Amino acid sequence: MSRDRAGGAVDPYKLASVLLQYPTMALFDGLDHLDAVAASASPKPARDAFARFLGWLRATQPTEVAQHYVETFDLRRRCALYLTYYRYGDTRKRGMAMLTFKATYRAAGYDPSEDELPDYLPLVLDFAALGPRGERLLRGHRADLELLRRALAEAGTPYADVVAAVCTRLPRLGRRDMALVRQAWEKGPPEEEVGLEPFAPPGYLDGSGTGARR
């Protein structure tokens, strides 16, 4: 786990990245360590949110958690773990937004795995844990994070706490972002457009679910 830039504690962005990926047995084997990491996270609202989520992990059978993960992120269109998907769906605007992520990674010398799309939230969180450029990328998609948080909260899933923990590290929504959230929330992700398969979440193309399990 990376160290927090502010004072030695583990960066909560990295913790959130781990928790938002498909729950393998390694996750459950490492719960004691994750509890310790969460206890040192800041600010306090993030610490509390992580604690609630980890408490749910401990109280739930691994097979149930895995099933819940699939039902939440693979089968709910509004809960996709791709930051540009909620607002842009499979439109050309999403393709342009995707280029921004790629350009930001390239400028920072960051070379993420090509197994995932560049706006995959755990990937972005890993990048944010490395330095200010990554956090700026999250800030630029503050409205998209809020849309995901709301969708998860509406679904009643504990995963809403993980995204909420991320949001506590970012500025509150401004008027412009609030307007974007209201508009996108009412409409949901735009419908697919022809010829944009490379920008669609992997699970929606081949039925295999999110790319985190590939």
User: pLDDT tens digits, residue range 84-101?
Assistant: 998 888 888 888 888 989
State whether residue 193 is helix, strand or coil: coil
- Single-letter residue type at 65: V
Q: How far apart are CA 168 and CA 18, in angstroms?
A: 17
Find residue 82's DSSP bridge partners: 120
Question: Is the pLDDT assigned to residue 7 strictly greater than 90?
Answer: no
* Alpha carbon distance 1, 64 (integer Å): 26
- As a dihedral over the C-alpha atoms of residue 70, residue 72, residue 76, residue 80, rounded to 10 degrees, the angle is -90
Q: Report the pLDDT value the prediction gives residue 193, as an integer from 0 to 100.
A: 55
The stretch 193-203 carries a mean pLDDT of: 46
For the full predicted model, state whether its pTM sits above 0.95.
no
pLDDT of residue 199 exceeding 50, the answer is no
Q: Whole-angstrom Cα distance, residue 48 to residue 205?
A: 36
pLDDT > 60? residue 212: no
89 vs 70, more confident: 70
* Contacts for 106 with CB less than 8 Å, ≥ 6 apart: none
CA angle 108, 128, 17 (to 5 degrees): 130
Evaluate whether 93 touches 191 at the Cβ level (below 8 Å): no
Domain range annotation of the chain: 12-213
> Which of the two residues, 186 and 166, has the higher pLDDT score?
166
Residues 6+ positions from 179 with CB-CB distance below 8 Å: none
What pLDDT score does 192 carry?
Answer: 59
What secondary structure letter does DSSP report for 60? S
